[in-house]
Amino acid sequence: MLGFVTKTTQIPKVAPAKPSAATGSAPHDAGSPAHAPGSPSASERIKTLVILGASGDLTGRLLLPGVGRLIASGRAPGITLVGAGSDNWTAEQWQERLAGSFADALAPGGDSTPEGIKALEAVQSNSSYHQLNVTAKGELGAFLATVEGPVALYFALPPAISQKACEVLKKKELPAGTRLVMEKPFGSSAASAHALNATLGKLVAEDHIHRVDHFLGKSTVLNIMGLRFANRLLEPLWNGEHIEKVEIVFDEDLTLENRARYYDHAGAGKDMIQSHLLQIMAIMAMEPPATLGQEDVRSSIAAVLRCSTIGNSYKPDLADATRRARYTAGTIGERQVPNYVDEEGVDPANDTETLAEVEVYVNNWRWAGVPFILRSGKALGRGRKEAVVTYKPVPHLPAGFTGVDSPTRLHIGFGPETLTLDLDVNGPGDLFTLDRVQLETALASDPLLPYGEVLEGVLSGDPLLSVRGDTAEDCWRIVEPAFAAWKAGSVPMEEYAAGSNGPSGWATSND
């Protein structure tokens, strides 16, 4: 049962639940995904993690810190780490990168265990780096013959390079049990995602392909599912008869942060909505799975995405169902932010949006007519990462009440993981006056970084948190009409000052 406290009360941190070793299950205990039907056995656990693109920014900034935290927590026993990249790095340069990326995990205290720290130190000292041209025929295959399997082959590379590397690989060159780990964006269109799926399918089975979406950490996925499916108070009302709209928002106060080379070609739509937010939407909207096994959960997610479109028969106009904007000069805290088009590395001809919003409709019985509003942007005045469920008004409010009758709203926060319920109650003072209160609690969270949570599934051979091939294609199918309309200029590019909440005409900017 959720323990609510008022917003003004100190909220205790809720520790993540530990999986039970028992074979039976108590009421409301669905078990750990690691023991769910369809999960792989411990004998398939990965022995070697090979990072391609090991000298790149993604590896140093996000991937290696996640690896370090995972090993230092004692949750990646017996792993060997190997780096490979196109840069001619020395062993000393690789060790410097590892030292910097592992510094927090190696520090005493926190969530690292003494045994985990020793294991991480051993992994670091034994790790090696190899210069490699992954697109040269036979070179990657020959290299893989020198490492112990099963292997997790992590493509921390631009999508085009990953595609080429997989095209020149041969199935016989992969060690038994190899798992391929692909970074987003997975393709650049539904057609290219389909082609990449076909290429990967010639190398390994679908359940050995991990398409990484670090936004789908275990805490996020299981918190939503636990909230919905373990509380009878919520699930009977989780449909279009009672819910007016669902908003999934990922607003950042960060600007480009030296990522123009990628972001100016992706924009807010491809960077966040096409992948992360559609996946969260699917978990919010899916039917109850029979188990927490990867096959049941991912099939429920796929069923939602298959019937989803931007706009529907009630709102077919993409100029009405989508919005885009770009930030102009402004102030965020004490930082002076220039116009987006004046940022270093930006080409104004790309017409890139830094804030986007789309209305997705899940065209099935449960959700017919309910808009799922997906919004993401940069350089905004407040960071906001949450899903908000807004319920329909009561059918009749007894005459005599005064004050504002506001809609009931449920907020699910992503980092920190929180749950807030907005309710109308009587008083204080005049009992006839409705007043707004917020009931708030902390949800369980995992001390691992998001990449650590996803990598744990890769190393243990559980694809629960990975994006399945058909859903990767469907995500592109859903958004492609909007992107085409934007490119054609059918949807105007609006503007908002950096540090503001976005265009004032957007309802989500005024929440």
Catalytic positions, please?
Answer: 276
Q: Computed from CA positions of residues 398, 402, 403, 404, in that sequence, does the dihedral angle turn out positive or negative?
A: positive
Q: Computed from CA positions of residues 180, 182, 188, 194, in that sequence, does the dihedral angle turn out positive or negative?
A: positive
Residue 315 labelled as part of a binding site: no
Peptide bond into 316 cis (omega under 30): no
Q: Computed from CA positions of residues 425, 408, 511, 389, in that sequence, does the dihedral angle turn out positive or negative?
A: positive
Residue 29 labelled as part of a binding site: no
Here the tokens at position 284 are 């919010």
How far is 172 from 342, CA to CA, in rounded Å? Answer: 50
How far is 150 from 152, CA to CA, in rounded Å? Answer: 7
Residues 6+ apart with CB under 8 A from 130: 82, 83, 84, 143
Residue 184 labelled as part of a binding site: yes
Q: Residue 476 to residues 157, 166, 187, 192, 193: CA-CA distances in angstroms?
A: 20, 21, 9, 10, 8
Nearest Cα to 360, choosing from 303, 304, 299?
304
Residue 252 labelled as part of a binding site: yes
Residue 396 labelled as part of a binding site: no
Residue 170 labelled as part of a binding site: no
How far is 424 from 433, CA to CA, in rounded Å? Answer: 10
Residue 7 labelled as part of a binding site: no
Residue 440: φ, ψ to 5°: -140, 145
**What are the helix (H) ranges across 286-435?**
294-306, 318-321
Which residues contribute to the annotated binding site for substrate?
Answer: 214, 218, 252, 271, 378
Which residues contribute to the annotated binding site?
Answer: 86, 184, 214, 218, 252, 271, 378
Which residues contribute to the annotated binding site for NADP(+)?
Answer: 86, 184
